[in-house]
Amino acid sequence: MIHSHQKVLVTGGTGFVAIHSILQLLNRGYQVRTTVRSLNSRDKIFEMLKNGGITDFSQLEFIETDLTSDKNWNEAMMGCQYVLHIASPIFLRLPKNEDEMIRPAVDGTLRVLKAARDSGVKRVVMTSNFGAVGYSHKDKNSLITEESWTDPNEKGLSTYNKSKVLAEKAAWDFIEKKGGALELSVINPMGIFGPSLNEDLSSGFELLKKLLDGSMKAIPDIRLGIVDVRDVAELHILAMEKPQAKGERFLALSGGTMSLMEIVKLLKEKMPYVTTKAPAKSLPTFIIRLSSIFNDQAKAILPLVGINRNASNKKAKTILGWVPRTNEEAVTASVISLIKWKNLNI
């Protein structure tokens, strides 16, 4: 497939989903420009793409931008038909005041959409997350679909997820009122696993690492919706290419959920040598509730405990012909990466 006349801007090129998207776009023959907060990241991106099998970088260019500033966004969009807006603002510490996280998320999204509209971009595909979809869905028996929205004022909602809901809502609102000819599609991934192209760990890896390196003594009752990063990247590209994705949001998950206990059982069966330090017993939720009064780690996982993640991936499959890998494949690929990059001492 040669798309050599078509240029795609990918925001936040060093990120886990973004780098896999760049890899697939280059393999499909697109020209790619990616934004980085500093041009010093170029070597890191070349390195990751090499690890992913890319040898020709002639179709890749870089531009230095930041979601918190207008600088260079119009230049970044120039000549691009499509934008995959995957970057989110980076926080080195959790802000004391939630507006410190929410404003940059919302403003950064609007900054990208305005520049895209003004530069004549055809379509933006934006990465949101499941946190914007399913956290207010109270009916345990019904499937969560793209029709669901998380209430940004939901009790116990993390500031991060609140920022994702509000940024996505702001994006749809902008397209409706001020978008002009610009089209929008949104991808809402669940827990992202799969192969890492370098030793940097995304959050799914941290969880697996804790599960396997002995730092968790018992297994909390957390169920995850899971998706492989390669499939999330592919879904962004399908949503970019296919006319019928215009104005739609798509949940990205492999199908069905897995509990942490099921993940440990799977790995015991498939890769027993990685589970020698893994806990075997479950951690009752009431203990997490109690500990969360004193313990930051318990406080951090409490909102994840017992959450309904029973969501449907039917829309992406039927409308876009998306065929995701299994949960098992995504999880084992992550563990193989943990070992490959020496992040797991077992």
Residues with catalytic function: 164
Rounded to 10°, the helix 16-27/229-241 angle is 60
- 240-244 LR contacts (CB < 8 Å, sep 24+): 240/8, 240/82, 240/84, 240/123, 240/125, 240/185, 242/319, 242/320, 244/319, 244/320
Q: Bridge-partner residues for 193, per DSSP?
A: 228
Q: In what order do the strands lie in the sheet with 257-259?
A: 191-193, 223-228, 257-259
Closest among 169, 210, 227 to 301, alpha carbons compared: 210
The values of phi and psi at residue 183, to 5°, are -105, 155
Distance CA 65, CA 35 (A): 6
CA dihedral 20, 21, 27, 29 (to 10 degrees): -160
Distance CA 300, CA 292 (A): 8
Distance CA 327, CA 325 (A): 7
Distance CA 153, CA 340 (A): 41
Q: Bridge-partner residues for 283, per DSSP?
A: 220
Closest among 27, 42, 21 to 84, alpha carbons compared: 21
Closest among 287, 308, 309 to 298, alpha carbons compared: 287
